[in-house]
Structure 1
Amino acid sequence: MSQRQPPRSTSALGKGGHVTESAPTLKRAHAGKGAADWLRAAILGGQLRPGTKLSEQSLGETLGVSRNTLREAFAVLGAERIVTRIPNRGVFVAQPSRADVQEMYRIRCILEPAALLQERTPAAGATIEPELAAAVQQGLAARERHDVPGMAAANQQFHALVVALAGSSRLDTLMAHVQSEMRLVFHAMAADPAFHAPFSSQNAEILALWRHGQRAQAAANLSNYLAAAQEQVLAAMPHESGRFS
């Protein structure tokens, strides 16, 4: 899904979802989609942190849209579990719970190993395999540079491409939604190289096994890797009381 990147003015986003500088006015015919794209990019890019309350007035003025249009955007992002509406309190950037994390990893543990177990198709060999190799190399290079965001981005790309081996646009969409929600969780671990670095080499090992036809072993390695990652994420999560303020 293509996403409009938030303008540079998002660096001035204030507390409570207030924006202190203006963004370009969105075209009226596509205002709802444009507002959703802008907010999605700001949230997933870390400018709007999990738990932040989104001010309808401030965002509406910044984007040049009505409250109704902004609420349409909130509905889209709510369906993607990126924002959540709390009755009588407002709309907040989603802050996934421990149960949410467990569900996300359950989905991934079904999708990703199953995709690796499939017979390699000509399309996978011609297009997806080179992209998987590129994602692995990008992750390893980022690890050498101690580039934590680079490692995280390469890892996200690798896992999306693993699911793409299934050849299903619906599964690709599901994985994209899960990864968007996962990025909200990873914001809390963004500066921790100890979390991201091991996955770069593990991705390389999984790709090598898959390339040599050892699909079952590649799937088993990935299942174990995801289980370990879930435990690390859960251990790093803060206490959940007062998640939205």
Structure 2
Amino acid sequence: MGTTGGLADDRALLGRTSTAERVADILRTRIAEGYFPPGTRLSEENIGGALGVSRNTLREAFRLLTHERLLVHELNRGVFVRVLTVDDVVDLYRTRRLVECAVVHGLGGPPFALDGLAGAVAEGERHARDGDWKGVSTANIHFHSELVALAGSERTDELMRGVLAELRLAFHVVDDPRALHEPYLARNREILDALRAGERTKSEQLLADYLDDSRTQLVEAYARRVADDGETPH
């Protein structure tokens, strides 16, 4: 048998997998934007028809997003956008603290490449002036993505994309996005300014305090909303 083995038999999978990944990208974005809120049942027929893809391709996309913990499959019920538990939220922040603080701690000497971080701060402040708190939420996600990107590690970037995508599931359950996100606009700029000044240790402490306060606020708001609505996490 040649070194290619039975790979020729897998050729048909290439197109399907590529399409499934593109479909997963679309659905991931829609979930992140709140188009499919937590707890929503995803209809194979409706979504497949809208995107013009086969049921097998859509199921593969669902499988990819289930692996990313954005969807959950319930036997005899279908596929749903996950509703996070309070423990999920706490664990996500534990991961964020480990990763984000380690990135700042491990930065080399200044000057740091801060254009992406500065852009995210400006983006958040612009959306706040417009009263667009959903936009502020997205800009805040961009801020933390850009912060982690300072490590220059594709693996760390990929890890944080998954963590932040999951976190947005919790954001969409909280009904007062302004109260949730507005306090951190100034703190984002404070971290940026400390990094611009080359104060890495101060930046790391500001970030640790930021994440601890954000976790406490989100857990309280999230637990209150889930309790009020009587939602059962999937």
Residue 89 of structure 2 contacts residue 219 of structure 2 at CA under 8 Å; is this kept in 1? yes
**Percent of matched pairs sharing the same residue:** 40
- Name the structure 2 match of 1:113: 101
Rounded to whole Å, the distance in 1 between the matches of 2:103 and 2:33 is 28
Match of 1:206 in 2: 191
Secondary structure at 2:193 match in 1: helix
Pair 1:234–1:150, CA change in 2 (3 A): same
**In 1, are the aligned partners of 2:42 and 2:80 still within 8 Å (CA)?**
yes
Q: Which has the higher contact order (CA 8 A, sep 6+)?
A: 2
Offset, 1:144? 2.8
Alignment partners' CA distance in 1, 2:78 and 2:191:
44
Cα offset for 1:60? 2.3
Partner of 1:189, secondary structure, is coil
Whole-angstrom distance in 1 between the partners of 2:55 and 2:133: 37
1:47 aligns with 2:47: no
1:180 aligns with 2:165: yes
Q: Which secondary structure state, in structure 2, belongs to the residue aligned with residue 96 of structure 1?
A: coil
Confirm whether residue 242 of structure 1 aligns to residue 227 of structure 2. no
1:144 aligns with 2:129: yes
Contact 1:95 1:243 in 2 (8 A): yes
Query: How far apart, CA to CA, are the structure 2 residues paired with 1:99 and 1:109?
Result: 15
- Which residue matches 1:79? 67
SS of 2:90 mapped into structure 1? helix
Return the offset for 1:61. 2.5
Check conservation: 2:20, 2:60, Cα contact below 8 A. yes
| Deviation >6 Å, runs of 4+ | none
TM-score of the pair, normalised by structure 2: 0.84
Deviation at 1:121, TM superposition (A): 6.1
Structure 1 distance, partners of 2:169, 2:119, is 25
- CA positional deviation for 1:191: 4.5
Structure of larger gyration radius: 2
Call closer, same or farther: CA 1:52–1:138 in 2, change over 3 Å.
same
The Cα offsets for residues 143-200 of structure 1, whole Å up to 9 and x where unpaired, read as 2332212221221111111111111100000001111111111112364312211111
Which residue number in structure 1 is paired with residue 76 of structure 2?
88
1:9 matched residue in structure 2: none
Does structure 2 retain, via aligned residues, the 8 Å contact 1:117–1:216?
yes
Q: Letter of the 2:217 partner, please give it.
A: Q
Contact 1:131/1:161 (<8 A) preserved: yes
* Cα distance in 2 for residues equivalent to 1:113 and 1:215: 10
8 Å Cα contact 1:149-1:190 kept in structure 2: no
Q: Tell me, which stretches of 5 or more residues in structure 2 are unaligned? A: 1-14
C-alpha root-mean-square deviation of aligned residues, in Å?
2.1
- 1:220 is displaced (CA, Å) by 1.0
CA distance in 2, matches of 1:28, 1:168: 29
Q: What is the number of equivalent residue pairs in this alignment?
A: 215
- TM-score between the two structures when normalised by the length of structure 1: 0.80
1:103 aligned to 2:91? yes
